[in-house]
Amino acid sequence: MKGFLLLLLFCLTALGASAQSPALPALDANSLELARRVFLPVFGFYLLCSFVLAAIKVVLNYLLKRQIVTAAVSESIVERLLPGAQDEQNKVVKWVALLLSSGAGLWLCTRYLPLGLHSLVILLFSTGLGLLAYYLFLRCQAK
């Protein structure tokens, strides 16, 4: 986490150092092409790998639960070993909220062409709405 924050700080410092130009560079065709060829496949690969790891974790937790039930272990040990079902449900709800809101943001971006800075604002706003929906879901669930 510290490494990520340092990298973000250095990137923002470099952006501030090049502040001699009158405005920030806009999203032109080259930057969109770079995002399409480099960043989107890397992000897609990350999502695929995280999905596979989550699926493996669910299967292994199921097999462990089955072994624990057949071994007749005490309930207090089982509660400490295994994550609660509520935590897994919350993770699923979080990803569904984020993916649905991001998908709605991408759909809105295609409706209002050409792609530009307003597309980025639409995506950020829709992702923020998804996170807000997840937060409100957690608050309602806690009551």
Burial 100-111 (b: 16+ CB within 10 A, else e): ebeebbeeebee
Same domain? 88 vs 130: yes
- List the helix and strand counts (H, then E) for the chain: 6, 0
Residues 75 and 119 in one domain: no
**Are residues 61 and 82 in contact, defined by beta-carbon separation less than 8 angstroms?**
yes
Tell whether 91 and 121 lie within a shared domain: yes
Domain-located, residue 3: no
The number of domains in the chain is 2
DSSP state, residue 115: P
CA-based R_g, the chain, Å: 21
Phi, psi of 20 (to 5 degrees): -75, -20
Report the pLDDT value the prediction gives residue 129, as an integer from 0 to 100: 92
Question: How far apart are alpha carbons 118 and 140 in whole angstroms?
Answer: 33
Judgement on whether residues 117 and 67 belong to the same structural domain of the protein? no
Residue 17, domain member (yes or no): no
Task: Quickly count: other Cβ atoms within 10 Å of residue 141's Cβ.
Answer: 11
- Residue 68: domain span: 45-82
Domain presence at residue 129 = yes
Of 30, 55, 82, the residue that ends a domain is: 82
pLDDT at residue 57, as a whole number: 85
Domain shared by 75 and 118, yes or no? no
* 8 Å CB contact between 82 and 64: yes
What is the chain's length? 143
Q: What is the mean pLDDT of each run of 10 residues along the chain (143 residues)?
A: 64 55 59 77 85 85 81 75 69 85 88 80 90 90 81
Q: Are 123 and 99 in contact (CB under 8 A)?
A: no
If asked whether residues 78 and 94 sit together in one domain, one would say: no
